[in-house]
Amino acid sequence: MTDPSATGRLTRDLVSRVKLTDLEACYQDLHRHPELAFQEHRTAGLLADRLESAGFTVTRGVARTGVVGVLANGDGPVVWLRGDMDALPVQEATGLAYASTVDGVMHACGHDLHVTWLVGAAELLADARDTWSGTLVVIGQPAEEGSGGAAAMVADGLHRLAPRPDAVFGQHVAPGPAGLYPHTPGLIMSAADDIHVTVPGVGGHGSRPESTVDPVVAAAYIVTRLQTVVSREVSAADSAVLTVGQFNAGLRPNIIPAEARLGLNLRTQKAHVRERILAAVRRIVEAECQAAGCPAPPTITTGGSYPATVNDAALDQEIAAVHRELFGHDTVFDFGPAMGSEDFSLLVPAGVPYDFWFVTSTPQDVWQAAPGDDLAQKLDAVPGNHSPLFAPDLSVLGPGVQTLVSAALSRLAA
């Protein structure tokens, strides 16, 4: 077990080497130039160039745009640090001086910050090689946002390119007053499934609906009925979210289309709850299509599935203790499992412990101005991940580097 005090002291001794102005410039540059899943060529190039300059052996183009940097520094454990790189199809509305220059694309989930933290941690640890022994692996992952980037990197040879780790670490920016570091031993993030539904109809003229089977009406009934699944088929003791995020049908107001398409997203924390909801979705879709007289059965496919993220409890408690030593006891707490999802765990070889935590980033003035008297109410009121207004406070640049560095040193320090 690591000594939190020793790791904290070593990390603090190295903090003076962090170049905050450089990190700020790096972050703002990445934020201005967001790239969607598997298109992160510029972002990956920046990360790879910085790693090579720091002395890492770098492999580019893993799963098209992924980056793997390996820094061997004598005998000792192997530690992986991972950050994701992709942006979202969101039109930015922050008004920041360094706002996105790409129309309709934004780093609305903070992956630009994740890459900046990786750069800072990698360079700091490389500069401080005299303080640790082992092998540090830095992974820039593409396509976390539902596009299977972690699985793609593994399929493209990640486990061959990087030595088997003794521990894997990752973190995610989150809403909340800047300066907190939530840790949860065990289950921290939910499983996710994307479900795609096609409702077949019989198209025709909008003036003669009697000669058609309107898939828009059938799909509307499906959307309404699906709202009862969690409230009436899942125990109140279990957590689940079923969202209809896409409804596409038709091209003209006076044409009844031949089909309608729905996109659903399911978040669950228990396998039996997931299976029950998937069965309920299939039952409802099929029944509504039959009731509408659809000319063929609906098509229901599941894709883009992520497993639950389950931290190694002992490892998480150790890293949480290190972060308390660094930032203060009250800054680290167990927020419990989140309904958000990650493909982080898919990178990790079987049997290897991993730890994933959050770094809160809401500017203090925004947090104080938000309505509500408690944490939950304010969290609902401030811009969160995937919001066009999401704008992390620049004060988290340094601490986010320290969290990664201290986690790595908990295993690597001589």
Cα 353 from Cα 378, distance rounded (Å): 33
Number of structural domains found in the chain: 2
109 is in an annotated binding site: yes
Please tell me whether residues 322 and 297 are part of one structural domain. Answer: no
- What's the CATH code of the domain at 284? 3.30.70.360
> pLDDT value at position 1?
52
For 268-327, the pLDDT digits (tens) are 999 999 999 999 999 999 999 999 999 999 999 998 789 999 999 999 999 999 999 999
Query: Which residues span the domain enclosing 292?
Result: 191-306
Task: List the CATH number of the domain containing 22.
Answer: 3.40.630.10
Is 322 found in the same domain as 302? no
pLDDT in tens, 282-293: 999 999 999 999
Q: 3-state SS of the chain?
A: CCCHHHHHHHHHHHHCCCCHHHHHHHHHHHHHCCCCCCCCHHHHHHHHHHHHHCCCEEEEEECCCEEEEEEEECCCCEEEEEEECCCECCCCCCCCCCCCCCCCCECCCCHHHHHHHHHHHHHHHHHCHHHECEEEEEEEECCCCCCCHHHHHHHCCHHHHCCCCCEEEEEEEEEEECCCCCCCCCEEECEEEEEEEEEECECEECCCHHHCECHHHHHHHHHHHHHHHHHHHCCCCCCEEEEEEEEEECCCCCEECCEEEEEEEEEECCHHHHHHHHHHHHHHHHHHHHHHCCCCCCEEEEEEEECCEECCHHHHHHHHHHHHHHHCHHHCCCCCCECCCCCHHHHCCCCCCEEEEEEEEECHHHHHHCCCCCHHHHHHHCCCCCCCCCCCCHHHHHHHHHHHHHHHHHHHEC
- Say if residue 111 carries a ligand binding annotation: yes
The verdict on 118 and 45 lying in the same domain is yes
Same domain assignment for residues 44 and 22 = yes
208-248 residue pLDDT tens = 999 999 999 999 999 999 999 999 999 999 999 999 999 99
Regarding whether 169 and 74 lie in a shared domain, the answer is yes
- The per-residue pLDDT of the chain, averaged, comes to 96
**Residues 109 and 236 placed together within one structural domain of the fold:** no
Is there a binding annotation on residue 183?
no
Looking at the structure, tell me whether residues 117 and 80 fall in a common domain: yes
386 is in an annotated binding site: yes
Tell me the pLDDT tens digit for each residue of 57-111: 999 999 999 999 999 999 999 999 999 999 999 999 999 999 999 999 999 999 9
Q: Is 31 annotated as a binding residue?
A: no
